[in-house]
Amino acid sequence: MSAEIDLATQNLKRRGFLDLDVDPTLDLAAEINRLKKERNAVILAHYYQESEIQDIADYIGDSLGLSQQAASTDADIIVFAGVHFMAETAKMLSPQKKVLLPDLKAGCSLADSCPAPVFAKFKEKYPDHIVVSYINCTAELKTLTDICCTSTNARHIIDSIPRDQPIIFAPDVNLGRWLVKETGRDMVLWNGSCMVHEIFSHEKVTKLKIAHPEAAFIAHPECEAHILDIADHVGSTSSLLRFTRDSGYNEFIVATEPGIIHQMEKSNPGKQFYPAPPNNTCACNECPHMKRNTMEKLYLCMEYEQPEIKLPEWVIEKGVKSIDRMLEISAAAGL
């Protein structure tokens, strides 16, 4: 077996995960729970993970909640069931801890849309601007950022900046446009986007609204403006979840990655949820990066403590300042 592990480790960079066979009779949930205790590990999972992973995680949340957990956990190992930038953020907040990601190729189309070297040139054109970056970006981009934000705290972050201070907002142009509309600030926007949130069809959503006239249409601010304009509620992933609990509606059309619907159904037995349809016949409203993580990969990464997220010290030291500033503003706002 050691030869197989050695080969899998050698192929880790190319494959992204430990390509080892897992006994199909193994009770993966029981094994993962055993490993959590043995390794003093905590599993942080995003709402967009498959339901099995959500059910075994110690904490399920959106980017802000996951960042807060990564900063405060006393576990020795953080296992991040999410995408690469989330695990990088955890490493920056807890550099002394081992941070594992089940599949290194669980990337992010939005983070990829803003390469740090290209953004650095863009930033040079606006020397008097400060940079606010959505946390869905690479660790290197965070080194070029003054304050990070999430969709939960974005308005609070923008409102905390003096009105006469010009701002560059990166990388999500749709979230940026929504913030311009909500805050009245004239920001310079980087033209990046999330493949999942750009795929929703106005025509198909309208037909779904007609088919379910009692349903509330709720959307994430990463969606395009023509989708947000017809929404009954726009908010972060956690805000959408809260709205389904607290509002008087019993039916919801949900325009974000459909992984969140698992938590919505658990929190709201008896209520109905319909994923907003994409503008073609594929399942493009599912994030292919989030779905790269599986129970098998989660088990293997905990068993062998690989793949591990490692970052240069200068990236951690310089980049974490933008996250710390975000967490300070969020705490002051009671988030």
Structure-block tokens of residue 37: 């205790």
8 Å CB contact between 207 and 201? no
What is the C-alpha separation between 17 and 13, in angstroms, rounded? 8
Q: What is the DSSP string of 239-277?
A: HHHHHHHHSS-SEEEEES-TTHHHHHHHHSTT-EEEEPP
Residue at token pair 């939005």: 110
Query: C-alpha 176: how far from its chain's center?
Result: 17
Any known ligand binding at 220? yes
What is the C-alpha separation between 84 and 64, in angstroms, rounded? 15
8 Å CB contact between 43 and 55? no
What is the C-alpha separation between 208 and 200, in angstroms, rounded? 12
How far are the Cα atoms of 233, 262, 275 from residue 204, in angstroms, in the given order? 18, 22, 11
Any known ligand binding at 94? no
Any known ligand binding at 287? yes
Residue spans of alpha helices (H) in 77-201: 84-93, 109-112, 116-124, 139-142, 154-159, 173-183
As a whole number of angstroms, the longest Cα–Cα distance in the chain is: 63
What is the C-alpha separation between 90 and 95, in angstroms, rounded? 8
Any known ligand binding at 134? yes
Q: How many CB atoms lie within 10 A of CB 207?
A: 12
How far are the Cα atoms of 276, 295, 308 from residue 196, in angstroms, in the given order? 11, 23, 27
Structure-block tokens of residue 318: 């310089």
Any known ligand binding at 282? no
Any known ligand binding at 63? yes
Any known ligand binding at 194? yes
8 Å CB contact between 175 and 134? yes
Any known ligand binding at 236? no
Q: Which residues 6+ apart lie within 8 Å of 184 measured at CB?
A: none
Any known ligand binding at 46? yes
Q: Which residues are annotated as a binding site for [4Fe-4S] cluster?
A: 108, 194, 287
Q: Which residues are annotated as a binding site?
A: 46, 63, 108, 134-136, 151, 194, 220-222, 237, 287
Q: Which residues are annotated as a binding site for iminosuccinate?
A: 46, 63, 134-136, 151, 220-222, 237
